[in-house]
């Protein structure tokens, strides 16, 4: 099962659309080749900067420059050693679009900065720190969008839903600017902090927070101290911070009050506080409970079943999901400002990359629904 949950499953899935090229003639490449061969998946060729042999594992060996003459839309280059990355980029090839490292992630390589309150934040030089602008950048009407990796504007090589929504505003001649502040890995407590610190001073008319899954995912959640990110925890625990402050003698550190609560109540309480803050500052708050592949368990496509069975299904994750939605369904104090988007993809195919991340087609559907639900009737 681990075989399919990792690199081999991703490569096998890619062969439906592309020829596979392995970069580097080494033992690791040979091991990958053998696993693919056992699955009847044939590697088209191997490539090296300056080939020292004609064949490797009975497959042709070509140079980097040879591969540039191929139709790059029909091949996928898999790198088994990181030292090939800069060389391929120097030839104009792009990570994710043309080649993948052996970790085989759909997402782009991002850069972050440590953040005093949030743990870390996006690096977006030349813009408002932690935000990316879409729509009419000169408009006075401002919408801020918040969320995690499913809304992150820099994570994938295609448009996020905030960018698509911004294009929709431009096409409909709506004088609206969007600042997307979503950051991969952030949970609702980080969104709450970001709202207080960064969003309120921007004076937006609306805030849209597309959240939920990251709070369900206890793999990244500090269950006792949800406002402390793993980066903050690591920095505090690994640094000699005694006597940092001259005025007062300091010794050790504190995470604050233990705040043990269920993932659902963490998400719900964060949403309530964000809405209360927005209301105080005359900002309309729209909270959206996001979908994930587990919401489709009753209507999964064949490809989605493969994701669930061979790649992302972990018993503990499914348990967390079921606990979250059991509490959500049993909660009699439903919040009027929360919109449930969990069934938005039930009739759709080829949406999910993994258990929660989606391709651009899914972002298009989200943006279209947001526009029709929240903006279509506005003057």
pLDDT tens across 35-51, in order? 788 778 889 999 998 89
Contact 100, 137 (CB under 8 A): no
The pLDDT of residue 54? 92
Contact 57, 81 (CB under 8 A): no
Residue 257 has φ and ψ, to the nearest 5°, of -80, 135
Q: Which CATH class is domain 112-374?
A: alpha beta
Residue ranges, comma separated, of all CATH 3.40.50.1110 domains in the chain are 112-374
Closest CA to 178 of 187, 188, 168, 193: 168
Band of residue 1 on the pLDDT scale cut at 50, 70, 90: very low
Apex CA 234: angle with CA 229 and CA 236, to 5°? Answer: 95
- Around Cβ 328, how many Cβ atoms within 10 Å? 17
| pLDDT tens sequence across 241-290 | 655 556 666 677 788 888 878 889 999 999 999 999 999 999 999 999 99
- 132-153 burial, b for 16+ CB within 10 Å, e for fewer? bbbbbeebebbbbbbbbbbbbb
The pLDDT of residue 93? 86
Going 291 to 294 to 299 to 303, the CA torsion angle's sign is positive
Residue ranges, comma separated, of all CATH 3.40.50.720 domains in the chain are 2-101
Q: Which of the 8 DSSP states describes residue 92?
A: T
Q: What is the DSSP string of 181-204?
A: ---TT--HHHHHHHIIIIIGGG--
d(CA 315, CA 330): 22
**Regarding beta strands 206-211 and 176-180, do their DSSP bridges make them parallel or antiparallel, or are they unpaired?**
unpaired
The two structure tokens encoding residue 59: 């497959």
Band of residue 207 on the pLDDT scale cut at 50, 70, 90: very high
Closest CA to 80 of 34, 119, 114, 112: 34
Say if residue 74's pLDDT is above 50.
Answer: yes
d(CA 255, CA 257): 7
The pLDDT of residue 82? 66
pTM, entire model: 0.74
Q: Which CATH class is domain 2-101?
A: alpha beta
Q: Which of the 8 DSSP states describes residue 108?
A: P
Contact 63, 21 (CB under 8 A): no
Say if residue 105's pLDDT is above 60.
Answer: no
% the chain with pLDDT above 90:
40
| pLDDT tens sequence across 210-249 | 999 888 876 556 667 888 887 787 777 776 665 555 666 6
Strand order in the sheet with 19-23: 55-56, 59-63, 43-48, 19-23, 75-79, 99-101
């Amino acid at each position: 099962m681990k075989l399919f949950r990792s690199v081999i499953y991703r490569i096998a899935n890619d062969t439906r659309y592309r020829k596979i090229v392995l970069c580097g003639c080494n033992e690791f490449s040979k091991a990958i080749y053998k696993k693919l061969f056992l699955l009847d998946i044939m590697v088209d060729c191997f490539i090296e900067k300056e080939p020292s042999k004609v064949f490797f594992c009975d497959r042709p060996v070509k140079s980097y420059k040879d591969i540039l003459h191929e139709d790059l839309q029909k091949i996928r280059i898999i790198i088994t050693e990181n030292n090939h990355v800069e060389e391929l980029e120097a030839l104009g090839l792009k990570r994710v679009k043309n080649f993948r490292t052996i970790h085989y992630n759909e997402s782009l390589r991002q850069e972050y900065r440590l953040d005093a309150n949030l743990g870390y934040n996006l690096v977006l030089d030349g813009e408002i720190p932690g935000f990316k602008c879409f729509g009419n950048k000169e408009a006075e009407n401002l919408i801020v969008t918040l969320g995690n990796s499913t809304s992150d504007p820099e994570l994938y090589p295609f448009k996020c839903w905030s960018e698509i929504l911004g294009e929709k505003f431009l096409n409909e001649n709506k004088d609206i600017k969007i600042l997307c502040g979503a950051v991969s890995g952030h949970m609702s407590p980080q969104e709450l902090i970001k709202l207080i610190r960064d969003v309120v001073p921007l004076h937006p008319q609306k805030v849209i927070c597309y959240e939920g899954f990251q709070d369900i995912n206890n793999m990244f959640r500090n269950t006792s101290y949800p406002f402390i990110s793993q980066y903050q925890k690591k920095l505090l625990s690994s640094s000699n911070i005694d006597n940092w402050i001259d005025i007062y003698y300091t010794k050790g550190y504190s995470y604050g009050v233990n705040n043990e609560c269920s993932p659902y109540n963490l998400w719900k309480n964060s949403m309530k506080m964000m809405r209360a803050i927005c209301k105080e500052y005359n900002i309309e708050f729209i909270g959206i409970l996001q979908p994930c592949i587990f919401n489709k368990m009753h209507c999964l496509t064949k490809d989605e079943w493969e994701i669930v069975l061979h790649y992302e299904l972990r018993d503990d994750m499914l348990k967390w999901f079921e606990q979250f939605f059991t509490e959500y369904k049993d909660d009699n104090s439903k919040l009027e400002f929360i919109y449930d988007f969990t069934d938005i993809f039930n009739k759709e195919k080829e949406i999910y990359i993994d258990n929660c991340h989606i391709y651009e087609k899914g972002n298009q559907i989200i943006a279209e629904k947001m526009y029709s639900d929240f903006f279509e009737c506005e003057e």
